[in-house]
């Protein structure tokens, strides 16, 4: 299953039911001419990017506390007017929503659910399966294992919907935004807490960012995506200096199910490398969200 969509895109879809329906007057971002990267390869790269809920689960298991200051301010949504910025920040807000859901911060869940719904509507994303997913989630609201299974199942339908409607670049931008926001969380907490597990989680993104580069490269004919790709490559270049560790990869247990982050490999990271990655992540996030 395409786990990259499990909380980013699946949440997008279950919030987009009903009479949402305003259509954007802008040219769809998906009209961007793609490169020779195949849809099958794109799907495989998406699969290998962990969802924010997986990343945040490791944060929580490592003892990290909920920190509202890390969230992208809900009222920033009015700043996102282009299809590009809406797509990126749909991923950002979906990650914020994941964080609030995991920590059961229900008041904040409502704020970010509203933003995800608004951006989804504005981008014209919808699917016939959305109502069913919504009903199942509401019926299992207190069962974390069921919620993870529901959004995992919905992820396949979400991917198929986007692909059939030629919305591949939208899914890539949503995924990029979600990954960037998750990185913002974990790298801030890594430097603040100096927790070894969280630092390891940052280092484990070495292989993940490679997949993100390949995904974005598919649409680099677009100037905005090309610019984003350049900055992601700059971050990836720092990751290339990391050496593989003999330690096991970062894993998390979610109701007895094991989640592995970083393609079963772990890497050593120095304070200088951690700081360099954090600086570039924060500069890029500020550019895209503020």
Distance CA 118, CA 124 (A): 10
In a domain, 56, yes or no: yes
> Are 209 and 239 spatial neighbours (Cβ–Cβ below 8 Å)?
yes
The model carries a pTM of 0.79
pLDDT of residue 254: 41
In tens, the pLDDT along 175-230 reads: 899 899 999 999 999 999 999 989 999 998 998 999 999 989 989 999 999 999 99
Count CB atoms within 10 A of the CB of residue 15.
26
Q: How confident is the model at residue 248 (pLDDT cuts 50, 70, 90)?
A: low
> Are 98 and 7 spatial neighbours (Cβ–Cβ below 8 Å)?
yes
Mean pLDDT of the 35-49 span = 53
> Are 64 and 189 spatial neighbours (Cβ–Cβ below 8 Å)?
yes
Distance CA 191, CA 30 (A): 37
Six-digit token string for 238: 């720092």
In a domain, 272, yes or no: yes
Q: Is 87 helix (H, G, I), strand (E, B) or coil?
A: helix
Distance CA 289, CA 276 (A): 20
Count CB atoms within 10 A of the CB of residue 194.
11
Containing domain of residue 9, as a range?
3-16+37-289
pLDDT of residue 171: 81
DSSP per position, 28-50: PGGGSPP-S--HHHHHHHHHTS-
Q: What's the mean pLDDT when you consider all of the chain?
A: 76
In a domain, 171, yes or no: yes
In a domain, 280, yes or no: yes
More confidently predicted of 26 and 139: 139
pLDDT of residue 160: 57
Distance CA 253, CA 57 (A): 8
- Cβ neighbourhood burial of 172 (10 Å; 0-12, 13-18, 19+): buried
Into how many domains does the chain fold? 1
Helix (H) or strand (E) holding 276: helix 271-289
In a domain, 139, yes or no: yes
In a domain, 145, yes or no: yes
In a domain, 22, yes or no: no
Mean pLDDT of the 250-270 span = 56
In a domain, 31, yes or no: no
Mean pLDDT of the 119-139 span = 66
């Amino acid at each position: 299953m395409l786990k990259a969509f499990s909380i980013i895109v699946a949440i997008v879809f279950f919030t987009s039911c009903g009479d949402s329906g305003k259509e954007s007057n802008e040219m769809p971002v998906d009209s961007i001419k793609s490169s020779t990267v195949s849809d099958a390869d794109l799907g495989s790269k998406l699969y290998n990017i962990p969802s924010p809920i997986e990343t945040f689960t490791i944060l929580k298991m490592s003892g990290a506390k909920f920190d509202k200051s890390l969230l992208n301010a809900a009222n920033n949504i009015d700043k996102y007017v282009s299809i590009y910025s809406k797509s990126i920040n749909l991923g950002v807000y979906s990650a914020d929503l994941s964080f609030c859901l995991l920590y059961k911060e229900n008041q904040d869940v409502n704020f970010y659910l509203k933003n995800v719904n608004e951006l989804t509507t504005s981008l014209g994303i919808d699917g016939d399966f959305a109502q069913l997913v919504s009903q199942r989630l509401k019926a299992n609201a207190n069962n974390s294992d069921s919620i993870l299974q529901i959004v995992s199942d919905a992820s396949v339908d979400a991917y198929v919907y986007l692909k059939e409607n030629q919305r591949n670049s939208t899914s890539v931008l949503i995924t990029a935004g979600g990954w960037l926001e998750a990185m913002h969380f974990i790298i801030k907490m890594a430097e603040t807490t100096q927790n070894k597990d969280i630092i390891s989680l940052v280092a484990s993104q070495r292989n993940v960012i490679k997949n993100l580069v390949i995904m974005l490269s598919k649409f680099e004919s677009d100037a905005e995506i090309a610019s984003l790709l350049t900055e992601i490559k700059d971050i990836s270049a720092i990751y290339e200096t990391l050496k593989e560790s003999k330690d096991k990869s970062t894993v998390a247990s979610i109701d007895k199910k094991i989640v592995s982050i970083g393609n079963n490999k772990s890497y050593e990271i120095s304070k200088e490398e951690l700081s360099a990655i954090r600086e570039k992540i924060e500069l890029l996030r500020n550019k895209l969200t503020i």
